[in-house]
């Protein structure tokens, strides 16, 4: 009951929203499990090249033997996936609103497998460029998968569903070149195509995921809704954009909740991918140009250790931390560690140049990875904001498609910009070769300012009033 004072000035009819604490709805475990299997395909296709791309570029001899130029070409290759993904991910996501999630997911899986095989067989720089572009163009699954999580969850259990997404992303790792397995991969083919192995492993996983999805995954959009959309699409006498269940015009997505949520996601994605591209480059480059001179397999172990740490933490703790602190504080904490992460790299480099890659260097690398684990929690928090910001349920795919398109553009810019700035900083000796870290540290502070504009509570979802209970007195 309402305990506020009631007098002659109190309106006769008032609306009181009674916030009922509901028990979390059980997650559909089979569906979510299959979706997490699919989620692993995205980091395999987009980030599995990071441990060896710098060595691959060096072996192509397009740098003229100048190691300082590796960053330019590596950044370009890394960015192409996200640039081409940005061109199609919105279309794939909007198509999933009308065709269903499952067929679009299957198309994306098939496209990923084909393009990865081509990448592993590439022997020239332009072959790498073409195959990397195909990987992005044919794979719009990340937006569709986030929409599917929104389909499968509600406001009571979405934090648990969101917690699993960065877990699976972080597991995406790679197997190094053939020389890590000298007794097994000795045939001339593996020597001629040493980077086909990690691509083949990725394709094998995608192949299994394809058939699991085809056989066991159930469509998450109700058949009645799809039937209505199909009927509207073949009808010539009605304007479907005017109906409640019709496709939402793209311009109607640009509401304040959507724009603010997506802007923060884009900022996080940009800064994160810039660090993700810089960090392996930093580990791989020689000591005299600001790196640590580590071999690809060691870099793979470092990245794999980070992936395991963040995966375990997100799985067991994200939902609990999110409920204790709230989405806004979790997102702010993730953004706040980014300037620290960028500041640590020149410190590590300075210590390594004076004392070698000693125990202190490895402690600081581990500490940097611990901060990255905290940063990863921000993805789960902003996912909750974006999902709740959708103008209506039928526009969930379009909303996540818009967010992924924007994030893909930022991720396309991030690697090329960060690694090019690394090379420019070293070649021009800007701030002792460390200017790139200062630039991204400042950009991280601006990102933190934008994050503070998020509301304390996520946007109210469509139908939330009915769930919470509306009482007329």
Over residues 266-288, the pLDDT tens digits come to 999 999 989 988 998 899 888 98
Lookup: tokens for 438: 């200062």
User: Which CB contacts under 8 angstroms, 24+ apart, belong to 73-76?
Assistant: 73/125, 74/277, 74/281, 74/415, 74/419, 75/277, 75/415, 75/416, 75/417, 75/418, 75/419, 75/420, 76/129, 76/416
Give the end-to-end CA distance of the chain in Å, rounded to a whole number. Answer: 10
Lookup: tokens for 231: 């009927």
The pLDDT value recorded for residue 6 is 42
DSSP three-state, residue 27: coil
Lookup: tokens for 200: 């083949």
The pLDDT value recorded for residue 184 is 56
pTM value is 0.72
- What is 10-26 written as a DSSP string? S-SS-EEE----PPPPP
> Which residues are CB-contacts of 356 (< 8 A; sequence separation ≥ 6)?
none
**If you search the block for the tokens 């309106």, which residue do you land on?**
11
The pLDDT value recorded for residue 230 is 52
Instruction: Please tell me the distance from the alpha carbon of residue 460 to that of residue 454, in angstroms, as a whole number.
Output: 13
Residue spans per domain, the chain:
25-227+248-463
The pLDDT value recorded for residue 14 is 38
Lookup: tokens for 252: 């109607």
What does CATH list as the number for 25-227+248-463? 1.20.1250.20
Per-residue pLDDT of the chain (473 residues; tens, 9 = 90+): 444 444 444 444 333 343 445 677 788 888 888 888 887 777 777 767 766 777 788 777 676 667 777 777 877 887 788 888 888 888 888 888 888 889 999 998 998 888 888 888 888 888 888 888 888 887 778 788 888 888 888 877 777 776 666 655 555 544 344 444 445 566 778 778 877 887 888 888 889 999 999 999 998 887 666 555 555 554 544 444 334 455 567 788 889 999 999 999 999 999 998 998 899 889 988 898 888 999 877 887 888 788 778 878 887 888 889 889 999 999 999 999 999 999 999 999 999 999 999 999 999 999 999 999 999 999 989 988 998 898 887 788 888 888 988 988 898 888 888 988 998 998 888 988 899 999 999 999 999 999 999 999 887 765 544 444 443 33
Other residues' Cβ atoms within 10 Å of the Cβ of residue 133: 17
Over residues 288-333, the pLDDT tens digits come to 888 899 987 788 788 878 877 887 888 788 888 988 999 999 999 9
């Amino acid at each position: 009951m309402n305990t506020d004072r009631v007098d002659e000035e109190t309106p006769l009819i008032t609306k009181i929203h009674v916030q009922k604490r509901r028990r979390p709805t059980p997650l559909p475990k089979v569906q979510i499990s299959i979706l997490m299997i699919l989620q692993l395909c995205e980091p395999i296709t987009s980030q599995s090249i990071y441990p060896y791309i710098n060595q691959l570029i060096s072996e192509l001899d397009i740098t003229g033997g100048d190691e300082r130029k590796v960053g330019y070409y590596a950044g370009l290759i890394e960015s192409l996936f996200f640039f081409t993904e940005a061109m199609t991910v919105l279309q794939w996501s909007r198509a999933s609103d009308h065709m269903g999630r499952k067929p679009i997911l299957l198309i994306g899986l098939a496209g990923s497998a084909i393009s990865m095989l081509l990448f592993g067989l590439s022997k020239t720089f332009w072959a790498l460029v073409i195959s990397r572009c195909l990987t992005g163009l044919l794979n719009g699954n990340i937006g569709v998968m986030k929409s599917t999580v929104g389909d499968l969850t509600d406001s009571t259990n979405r934090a648990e569903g969101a917690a699993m997404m960065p877990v699976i992303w972080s597991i995406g790792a790679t197997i190094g070149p053939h020389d890590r397995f000298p007794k097994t991969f000795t045939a001339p083919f593996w020597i001629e195509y040493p980077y086909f192995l990690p691509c083949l492993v990725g394709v094998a996983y995608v192949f299994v995921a394809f058939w699991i999805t085809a056989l066991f995954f159930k469509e998450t959009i109700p058949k009645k809704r799809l039937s209505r959309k199909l009927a509207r699409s073949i009808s010539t006498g009605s304007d479907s954009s005017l109906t409640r269940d019709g496709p939402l015009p793209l311009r109607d997505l640009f509401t304040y909740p959507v724009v603010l949520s997506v802007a923060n996601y884009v900022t996080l994605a940009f800064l994160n991918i810039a660090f993700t591209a810089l960090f392996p480059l930093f580990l791989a480059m020689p000591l005299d140009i600001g790196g640590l001179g580590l071999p690809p397999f060691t870099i793979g172990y470092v990245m794999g250790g980070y992936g395991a740490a963040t995966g375990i933490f997100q799985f067991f703790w994200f939902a609990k931390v999110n409920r204790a602190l709230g989405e806004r504080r979790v997102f702010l904490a993730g953004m706040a560690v980014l300037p620290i992460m960028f500041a640590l790299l020149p410190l590590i480099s300075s210590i390594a140049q004076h004392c070698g890659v000693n125990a202190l260097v490895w402690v600081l690398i581990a500490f940097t990875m611990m901060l990255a684990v905290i940063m990863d929690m921000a993805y789960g928090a902003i996912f909750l904001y974006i999902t709740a910001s959708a103008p209506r349920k039928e526009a969930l795919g379009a909303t996540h498609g818009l967010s992924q398109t924007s994030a893909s553009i930022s991720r396309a810019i991030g690697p090329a910009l960060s690694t090019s700035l690394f090379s420019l900083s070293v070649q021009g000796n800007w701030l002792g070769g460390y200017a790139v870290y200062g630039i991204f540290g400042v950009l991280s502070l601006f990102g933190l300012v934008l994050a503070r504009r998020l509301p304390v509570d996520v946007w109210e979802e469509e139908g939330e009033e009915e769930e919470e209970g509306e009482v007329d007195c």
